[in-house]
A and B are shown apart, each in its own frame.
Chain A
Amino acid sequence: MISFFNYFYKFSLGLVVILYFSCAQFRGPKYPEIIYNNKQPLISVKYEYGEIQIILPIQYDGDIPENILFKVFAKADTMNPIISFLQEAPSEFRTTLPQGSLDITEKTNLIKIIPQDENFDPVSVRFKGIGFGRIVLPPKVIRSGQLIISGKTFLKNDASILPKVKVEIKDSEDVIFTTSSNDSGFYQIAIPGEYRFSENLKIVVGENLIFKPFTQKLIFDNVRKLKINALLGPSRAMRGPLYITEKSNVHFKKGPDIGAEILFLLNKGEVVSVDRITPGSYHGFIEVEISGGENIMMEGWINRADLRELNLNSIRKVIK
């Protein structure tokens, strides 16, 4: 029985081998390589480009310009903005730029904020870009441009330069800025732009001198710069001997007698040109400014005790 199965197995195997080779002959040989035709492969590449959203909060300190021109520059090119637009003064500047338009390695990108109002100065914001996404920049404060007050300090008597004269800007009686003229008599003060609307802004020059200080109201009507030359002391019209009041509220009277009509109350530092002397009083002239900045001379009497002789070589107050 076992020999029968062995025989059948060998017979079957031989048959399979014979059939295989017979069929192989029938199917033919196989070429040893795959034959390519080097056809260009079909490939599709799709890019998705991102966007850069820039958000710049804007804060206004005081006055608000009506319109603002925004210009965005990239990659240190400050000649050709990549985008610019004019809009009403916003609380937040937003814009969207295509990917790759900004320098992402250094702070060479720039937003220029140009208020369409001559009272404001343009400001810039430098920033480093990103490939894509959102940039929220620190808030930028827009404030009206500084107000500049400049001029020189002179002695009215001979128009000579007065150096180192104290100059103060006051809002009502609050001193908001103090400086002194230099050796050439020049001074310059910059104050914040919001003082443009103050109704009690004034300049006071010469608080450190014995004369009555020069005072002038500051009015910025469509200008941001004022030039004010301060003339201090007596004018050339005041002829000697010159005296000066030593205290405030000095009576400038019509006559030398007690009970005579009081014409003015003089402040400390008022210069009096004396021409007559009595045992108790001086008769002289003071300068009074009338409208239009013109000075007139007025005569009157002052108690001798309220005056001392003016020495133009010693006009600075002595700090005790």
Chain B
Amino acid sequence: MYSIIKYSIGFFLYVSLACSQIKLDINTIPDEVDVYLDGVNLGTSPIRNERIIPGAHIFEIKKKGYAPLKYDLIVNPSKAVEIDFFLNPVHACKFKTKEKGLVFELNGEHYWDTDNIRLDLEAGDHTLRVFKASELVDEQNIKIDKPETFNYKEKKTISN
């Protein structure tokens, strides 16, 4: 009797769970990226016909050469959900200057004082600040959209 009740409850839970699941498709740009859902590897994108239950979930995507992505999503009760992730690339750039005695700061947390350095920069806008003898002498935004070399020439100019 106990086992019948146990199996009945199990079957009911299984049916309830199966009925409440939502079809999940995941696309990424670029594709062939490992996708993790709540810490479990779903496989390589594109992901098709996976199942997900309504509620809070965490998606994580990591690929060499791209900024890692972590996304919290509360999945609504629905028939299907399709998610497209656009990964932001990281470009290998060079930064050079002929000026002496300068300290460079990028995004308020990365510093260097050499006149020639290689940087791995996420595509997009970055804030560059230049210090000389602890004084701010320049501040500007630089936009990264491809691998390139920057030559910092004068105090308020920057050119490719």
Contacts and interface: CB of A to CB of B under 8 A. Distances in A.
A30 B118 contact: yes
B78 A50 contact: yes
A42 B86 contact: yes
B69 A34 contact: no
B80 A48 contact: yes
A37 interface: yes
A316 to B, nearest CB: 59
Contacts of A42: 85-86, 88
A35 B104 CA distance: 13
Interface residues of B, number: 41
B90 A100 contact: no
Given A30-B117, A35-B119, A100 B81 contact: no
Contacts of A50: 78-79
Given A39-B124, A48-B81, A31 B71 contact: no
Nearest to A50: B79
Nearest to B118: A30
Interface string A22-49: 0000011111011111110111111111
Nearest to B61: A41
B120 interface: yes
Interface string B104-120: 00110010101111111
B85 A43 contact: yes
Contact of A43 (B80, B86, B94, B123): B86
Contacts of A145: none
Given A28-B114, A28-B116, A43-B84, A34 B122 contact: yes
Contact of B71 (A27, A36, A39, A41): A41
A100 B79 CA distance: 10
A259 B101 CA distance: 155
Interface in B3-38: 19-20, 23
Given A35-B121, A99-B77, A131 B19 contact: yes
A117 B73 CA distance: 52
Interface of B: 19-20, 23, 67, 69, 71, 73, 76-88, 90, 94, 96, 106-107, 110, 112, 114-126, 144
Given A37-B125, A39-B67, 19 more contacts: A28-B115, A29-B117, A30-B118, A30-B120, A31-B120, A34-B120, A34-B122, A36-B107, A41-B85, A42-B85, A44-B83, A45-B73, A45-B81, A48-B80, A49-B78, A50-B78, A99-B79, A131-B19, A131-B79
7 contacts: A27-B94, A28-B116, A31-B110, A42-B86, A43-B85, A47-B78, A49-B79
Give me the 9 closest cross-chain CB pairs, A-B, nearest first.
A28-B116, A50-B79, A42-B86, A48-B80, A44-B84, A39-B124, A34-B120, A30-B118, A47-B78
Interface of A: 27-31, 33-39, 41-50, 99-100, 104, 130-132
